[in-house]
């Protein structure tokens, strides 16, 4: 009887693959094996058995590649002022009308860019988007700018 209790207790204490563990700081840590990247002609895939067309890692990873989104600005329909977007890395200055959105994509892999957004002639947002980031900006009906950062 004692042998069964010891076996059942020891079986419960063995971490299972794919389960989360709590560390001493109270945070969780996955003990799942990390899939290794394997090269296939023109594509990168993981050894999980998923086809390269559905799981791929771009060659420029962990940076964002040429053509990926750098910044997107949306101006809600109820805003009546002027909105101007400046992307210094590409020397682009765009006016965005109410109810419209504009997206600027990277010209090169890992492009970093200073983004400035002015609302009614006043600079409301100014920051640098790094090589592994993109940012979504929304101009509300009151002219307030909210930002949402995407980090790869």
Question: So what CATH class is 69-151?
Answer: mainly beta
Measured torsion, CA atoms of residues 130, 133, 136, 142, in degrees rounded to the nearest 10: -50
Give the integer Cα–Cα distance in Å for 92 and 85: 8
What was the pLDDT predicted at 111? 95
Confidence of residue 57 (pLDDT cuts 50, 70, 90): low
What was the pLDDT predicted at 62? 73
Q: Answer yes or no: is pLDDT of 60 > 90.
A: no
Q: What is the DSSP letter of 2?
A: H
The residue that leads in pLDDT, 131 or 10, is: 131
Domains of the chain by residue range: 34-62, 69-151
Q: Answer yes or no: is pLDDT of 149 > 50.
A: yes
Confidence of residue 124 (pLDDT cuts 50, 70, 90): very high
Does this model's pTM top 0.75? My answer is no
Confidence of residue 49 (pLDDT cuts 50, 70, 90): very low
Look up tokens 């420029």; give the residue.
60
4, 40, 50, 113, 132 from 128: Cα distances, Å: 62, 35, 36, 5, 11
Report how far Cα 90 is from the mean position of its chain's Cα atoms.
21
């Amino acid at each position: 009887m004692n042998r069964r209790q010891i076996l059942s207790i020891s079986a419960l204490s063995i971490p299972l693959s794919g389960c989360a563990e709590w560390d001493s700081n109270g945070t969780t840590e996955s003990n799942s094996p990390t899939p290794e990247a394997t090269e296939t002609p023109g594509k990168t895939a993981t050894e999980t058995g998923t086809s390269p067309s559905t799981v791929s890692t771009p060659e420029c990873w962990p940076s964002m590649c040429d053509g990926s989104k750098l910044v997107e600005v949306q101006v809600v329909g109820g805003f009546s002022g002027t909105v101007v977007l400046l992307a210094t890395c590409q020397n682009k200055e765009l006016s965005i009308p109410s109810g419209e959105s504009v997206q600027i994509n990277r010209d090169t892999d890992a492009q970093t860019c200073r983004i400035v957004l002015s609302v009614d002639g006043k600079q409301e947002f100014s920051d640098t988007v790094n090589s592994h980031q993109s940012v979504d900006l929304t101009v509300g009906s009151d002219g307030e700018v909210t930002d949402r950062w995407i980090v790869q």
